[in-house]
Amino acid sequence: MADNEAVKDKPQENEAVMKETDKPEGKEETSSEIKPPSTSDSKGDDGKKAESRVKSAKSKDKGKKGGGKGGGKSKPVEATEEPAEKSGEDVMIPIFLSSKSQEIFQCVAEEDVTEANPHKLIPKEAIIQDMKDRAAISDFHPVKQLILDYPADEVLIIYDADFKYGQNFVLIGSEEEKQKILNPAADQPADGEGGVAGEDGAQEEPEVVVFEYAPPEPKEWVSLGSEVEIEEAAVKETEQKIHITIKRPRREFGAPVTFSDRNADDAKDGYIECVSYEDKSFNLKMVELDKQIQAVATYSDNGSQTEWKHPCNKYSQYAPREFTEEEQKEMLSLEKLLSFINRVIPRFELALQQNEIMDVFRNDWKELGSEDDTFGSKSDNHLKEYQSFTDLQFSRDKVLTCIEWHPTIKGIIAVSCAERMTFDERIDNSSKIIMSPSLILIWSFADPIHPQILLEAPEDIFCFKFNPSDPNIIAGGCVNGQIVLWDISKHVDRLKNTQRGKQSKKSAMLNVRYGRGREKPGFEDDNSDKTPVVRYCASAAIEHGHRSAVADIQWLPDHMEVNRFGITVENRNLQCCQLLTASTDGTIGIWDTRPPKGHSQPADDGKEDNPLGVATTFKHLDLTWKPTIKIQMNRLEGSGNYGPIRVSFKERQGDRTLLQKEGSAGKSSIDRKESSIGGFGLRSGSAKEKRPLEGATTKFFVGTEDGELIYADLKLEKDPDSGKLVPPRPDFVKACHDRGINTLQRSPFFKDILLVVGGWNFSIWKEGRESNPLLISAAASKQLTCGFWSPTRPAVFYLGTTEGNIEVWDLLDRTHEASLSQNISASSITSVFPWHLSQKQQLLAVSDKVGTLHILEVPWTLRNLTPGELTNITNYFEREDKRLEYQENRQSFHQENKRKLDAEEAAKKMAQPPEATTEEIDNKMRTLWLEYVEDERKFLEELGLIEQKEEPLPEI
């Protein structure tokens, strides 16, 4: 049937071909979609082509004369000769374009052409030029003749993403097909069936519809809540980004660089050796575990419910049972009743009188507590604001780094200020920082507005201390690593006066010996009311100082000193003349303030060679001062150093029991000498004349910037390899805090108890117990910034937080939380320092990060000892020490037991088995033979080769 239909359609195809010649000029037949015929179609391709052409011709001859709508016959038209139309397979030619060709003709797959936009027009001249340049290598060489004969100037290629035709591109070899593909709308057939024109032979033209593009107009957006969901689904950065600043000298930009090979050993510090060491925690396996259980009764939850019954309305009435008159007379006449009433009447009367006089149900204890709850009473346990100091010019918006009370003059306190900048910010703003002075402010309670003395420093001061033996000498550590000294002897009278700036003539006459700036009778200074600025009288040489900021500074006690070998010797002068400093550069230094041998102390004669009025007490140290001994805090494992920021010695100022034990406190051996320059004109003396201080330990605790607690030794040891004296490695290192240790202080009541504060918790350690602390707190909600023991109560200490709170901990009250927490400032607390003025008053100095110094009054309950407090806290520390000792013994026992068991197992494996006797061998062979015979019998029974003997039934 398919062949017959194809034969029938051939005249129609010829008719359509002839009618195509009668189309008016300017009209061109196009198709909306040109698809080549599939090779797998069962129908004939020629038949489909003829059928589509006949339909197209009928639609165009619609309206001719002869019959109206599909009813007339068409007039015969002479057939014109036309060349045969190319088939779809001949027009669409598969071609492969390599990536190089795609780049040349700008038709890169999935970039220039995609599956949604596969068409690409390539100029014919570009293809011919490519065939000339690359000859046979050109991808268009197989269709060279087709390209040369192509009538148009541009050739159409189509991207075949699915390789439907076998290659990645398809070349359109006909101009008509190209126009049909590029303009599919122009080839759509007219609606309706074909017909014949009318009598006048006029032909109806198809209706042309022109679509105009109208750009879309935006409408007002109405929120329905979708933007909230979009914001919640969006990923946002919550943590603050880390800023890294990398700098490079300008002279290195664009400079020529020449590289050459060199050996790593040729240059000093040419390489860093990473020495391998055994990781102790690598092979740790939990083999044994101690656990405890306790047998307790099990609990069960049960319930019960009363039986419900139907309610009903009922009522009942009771009448008291009364005696009759005869019974009443009989009862009243009883002697037993009359004697009972006479016996209890006095008791009733006494009880009634007591009820009238006082309330027996009143709680006297509660009433006593409410009556004593007044300001300043024993029940008051809050810190009260006593005074506050701030200077609008020198301390405002600065961080207060250190607080020190004057050791001898009451009501005098000093505080150091520093810029609130990081190290990088200091470098960027170095020009601004140089213009602002670095000062220590000395305040008096008599004048909270103006500081009494300003101590000028070369850089910001991070720590400073008054000399215990001569409070007129102050030592400080700078941010650049320098150590500086001040002498305020000229202004001590100003601090002793109760009113600011007023001095008597008698005190002025006593200042004659201080040289320039003295006040003679009749020549008083008119500027005495102005705050004096005291310049530092000595500073360490920069090359001999620390390489980073000085974090801690302390005066060694006056009864001891440390020589250059790290040995503690007795100090015959009983003057504090040595300093101990710690810095994050990994070193701890001992500095001596006495002049060297053969140096004569110049007198301050008041000549004009000292225009700034700087004291010459330490002129011999200025810019030449260097440490007597510098200890490098090397790590226990690997290379590198620890960063010490806090140091604590066991010996304390004023405790001379070691000298008394040796009999060195007599007048014949040690005399306390005073010098005209504050006691610092005494020379250090010969090392042979100084005897080692027996009983004084050279070991000390160190707190690092990484939260590690170190127990180290000052005494130098001889290196077996080089023969030089080197500092020993630490005895032990414990990482007990997650941030730097900001407080490392010994208890004023116990030499071996230390308070360690750092990060989010604090701990209490005992010297000699290095395994674990006696007490370690849980992590707090905010970081702890400072801490200090109470000077009068051994169980109380103070802590400062970043929230601006002061926490008071009483170990006898509770150990899991603070007994009192009170907000003092809106900014972070930097340091605290309690000071006991008298039996009735104790003050607490608190500094913050915005330049304000708060003075708080400590209540009665926090400054007075409770009954038996010292004994109780001693027992508490002893119990904790015994607990740790028991824990260490148990751990040692388990380790030793485990070591013995492993040794026994190893010995059993290595030992040879004992030789068996002849009788044992015969018995073993006999047993094996009987087992073999029994197994053989069972095997034969399973195979059915022997019958299984049935056991006889027991006789009845």
Q: What is the DSSP letter of 444?
A: E
Q: Is the pLDDT of residue 819 over 50?
A: yes
| pLDDT of res. 226 | 86
Last residue of a domain, one of 54, 86, 118: 86
Share of the chain above pLDDT 90, in %: 31
Highest mean pLDDT of the ranges 31-45, 169-183, 788-802: 788-802
Query: Phi, psi at residue 276, to the nearest 5°?
Result: -80, 145
Measured CA angle at 539 (ends 536, 545), to 5 deg: 150
Query: Phi, psi at residue 831, to the nearest 5°?
Result: -160, 155
Q: Is the pLDDT of residue 723 over 60?
A: yes
Question: Are residues 67 and 2 part of one domain?
Answer: yes
Structural domain includes residue 498: no
pLDDT class for 609, splitting at 50, 70, 90?
Answer: low
Question: Are residues 5 and 72 part of one domain?
Answer: yes
Higher pLDDT, 299 or 82: 299
pLDDT class for 422, splitting at 50, 70, 90?
Answer: confident
C-beta separation of 756 from 764 below 8 A: yes
Question: CB neighbours (10 Å) of residue 560?
Answer: 19
pLDDT class for 512, splitting at 50, 70, 90?
Answer: very low
Structural domain of 161: 88-173
pLDDT class for 612, splitting at 50, 70, 90?
Answer: low
Last residue of a domain, one of 48, 68, 86: 86
User: What does the pLDDT look like over 734-758, one tens digit per residue?
Assistant: 998 989 999 999 999 999 999 999 9
pLDDT class for 836, splitting at 50, 70, 90?
Answer: very high
User: In terms of Cα–Cα distance, which of 723, 725, 699 is closest to 713?
Assistant: 699
Question: Are residues 133 and 95 part of one domain?
Answer: yes
pLDDT class for 384, splitting at 50, 70, 90?
Answer: very high
User: What does the pLDDT look like over 318-356, one tens digit per residue?
Assistant: 888 888 999 988 888 889 998 999 999 999 999 999 888
Structural domain includes residue 118: yes
Question: Are residues 107 and 82 part of one domain?
Answer: no
In this structure, of 44-58, 414-428, 470-484, the range with the lowest mean pLDDT score is 44-58
Question: CB neighbours (10 Å) of residue 428?
Answer: 13
Q: Is the pLDDT of residue 234 over 60?
A: yes
Question: Are residues 97 and 32 part of one domain?
Answer: no
Higher pLDDT, 88 or 943: 943
pLDDT class for 598, splitting at 50, 70, 90?
Answer: low
Structural domain includes residue 48: yes
Element (DSSP H or E) covering residue 658: helix 657-661
Q: How many CA atoms lie within 13 A of 672 on its CB side?
A: 9
Identity of the amino acid at 589: G
Question: Are residues 97 and 163 part of one domain?
Answer: yes
| pLDDT of res. 846 | 96
Count of domains for the chain? 2
Q: How many CA atoms lie within 13 A of 685 on its CB side?
A: 16
**Furthest-apart CA atoms within the chain: distance in Å:** 165
Question: Are residues 59 and 29 part of one domain?
Answer: yes
- Calpha distance 413→403 (Å, rounded): 7
Element (DSSP H or E) covering residue 674: none
User: What does the pLDDT look like over 628-678, one tens digit per residue?
Assistant: 999 999 888 878 889 999 999 888 887 777 776 665 444 434 445 444 444
Structural domain includes residue 594: no
In this structure, of 45-49, 411-415, 739-743, the range with the lowest mean pLDDT score is 45-49
SS3 700: strand
pLDDT class for 509, splitting at 50, 70, 90?
Answer: very low
Structural domain includes residue 59: yes
pLDDT, average across residues 252-280 = 80
Collect all residues with Cβ–Cβ distance below 8 Å to 474 and sequence separation of at least 6: 414, 440, 455, 464, 465, 466, 467, 485, 486, 488
- Calpha distance 808→804 (Å, rounded): 13
In this structure, of 204-218, 509-523, 745-759, 775-789, the range with the lowest mean pLDDT score is 509-523
C-beta separation of 3 from 47 below 8 A: no
Query: Phi, psi at residue 184, to the nearest 5°?
Result: -70, -25
Structural domain includes residue 95: yes
Last residue of a domain, one of 24, 53, 86: 86
Structural domain includes residue 540: no
Put the strands of the sheet holding 853-857 in their side by side order: 384-389, 853-857, 841-848, 829-838
Question: Are residues 79 and 50 part of one domain?
Answer: yes
| pLDDT of res. 673 | 47
Higher pLDDT, 598 or 512: 598
| pLDDT of res. 661 | 66
User: In terms of Cα–Cα distance, which of 867, 869, 889 is closest to 877?
Assistant: 869
Query: Phi, psi at residue 232, to the nearest 5°?
Result: -70, -35
Question: Are residues 118 and 72 part of one domain?
Answer: no
| Mean predicted lDDT score pLDDT of the chain | 79
Higher pLDDT, 90 or 197: 90
User: In terms of Cα–Cα distance, which of 735, 518, 778 is closest to 636?
Assistant: 735
| pLDDT of res. 689 | 64
User: What does the pLDDT look like over 93-133, one tens digit per residue?
Assistant: 898 888 888 888 889 888 888 888 888 899 988 899 888 88
Structural domain includes residue 335: no
Question: Are residues 27 and 70 part of one domain?
Answer: yes
Question: Are residues 130 and 117 part of one domain?
Answer: yes
pTM for the model stands at: 0.56
Question: Are residues 61 and 98 part of one domain?
Answer: no
Q: Is the pLDDT of residue 929 over 90?
A: yes
pLDDT, average across residues 491-513 = 56
Pairing of strands 578-583, 550-555: antiparallel
